[in-house]
Amino acid sequence: MKKKIIENIKILIYALVIATLIRSFLFQPFYIPSSSMEPNLLIGDRLFVSKYTYGFSRHSFPFSPNITNKRHLSKKPKRGDVIVFKTPADNRTDYIKRLIGLPGDSIQFINGSLYINNELVKRTLLTNEKKITCGENVFETNSFEETLSNGKKYIAVYRKEGTMMNSDLYLVPLNHYFFLGDNRDCSKDSRFLSSVGYVKFTNIVGKARVIFFSNDRNIGSLLTPFKWHSSIRFKRTLKKIN
């Protein structure tokens, strides 16, 4: 009996070690709790983030142990990537946003349009207008396909009324990055310098890759199987994140 208990403990330890290695060096699951990345990421999406894409820092590991202040095997992120990072305010909270500004860039909204390095980001108005949530509120928005200088395309939405028309000029420091949510008027991102601001390269956790499961919590949860047919978003299963 004692021998069997010891063997079970060993198996449990091995499993925990393997799970930690996978989570630290390969993939980590994340849950989307807010609407800041709508319409591309929805509340209830569960996705995998690759930890190896940009190399490894202390934030690659559980609880972000203070074992290094550098990034190892590093690769630079690309403009337009959807990235999970630790907020500079506490180096603990995970945010997921789209990378817009690289080190040395200037970012500004002028008359409702996004400018990077004084160049207008090209955008095309889409015909499918969307109603987007923001907390308990629902707003009518205009949907645009924006195209960055490297050819990256994605959908961003702006409120029809009350959208941010003009902003400060943001100058991205060296070794830092500037992030925006795709739901532009309902996103706490790098525009809020006191809470998010410019994000250090070492604070990047990984790149969002694929949605492996999605559930509309307004309809039901995993504890209500009789609602699965309507609450589970089957079409989003294994959807690649753009």
Q: How far apart are CA 111 and CA 163, in angstroms?
A: 10
Catalytic, out of 51, 86, 97, 207: 97
Q: Is 64 assigned a catalytic role?
A: no
Catalytic, out of 36, 187, 190, 231: 36
The residue with tokens 């490297």 is 150
Strands (E), 18-135: 27-31, 45-50, 82-86, 94-101, 106-110, 113-116, 119-120, 122-125, 130-134
The residue with tokens 């008359």 is 111
Q: How far apart are CA 121 and CA 153, in angstroms?
A: 11
From residue 72, how far is each of 29, 93, 223 by CA, in Å? 22, 22, 41
Burial category of 208 from C-beta neighbours within 10 Å (exposed 0-12, middle 13-18, buried 19 and up): buried
Burial category of 226 from C-beta neighbours within 10 Å (exposed 0-12, middle 13-18, buried 19 and up): exposed
Q: Is 97 assigned a catalytic role?
A: yes
Quick check: helix, strand or coil at residue 212? strand
Which residues belong to the active site?
Answer: 36, 97
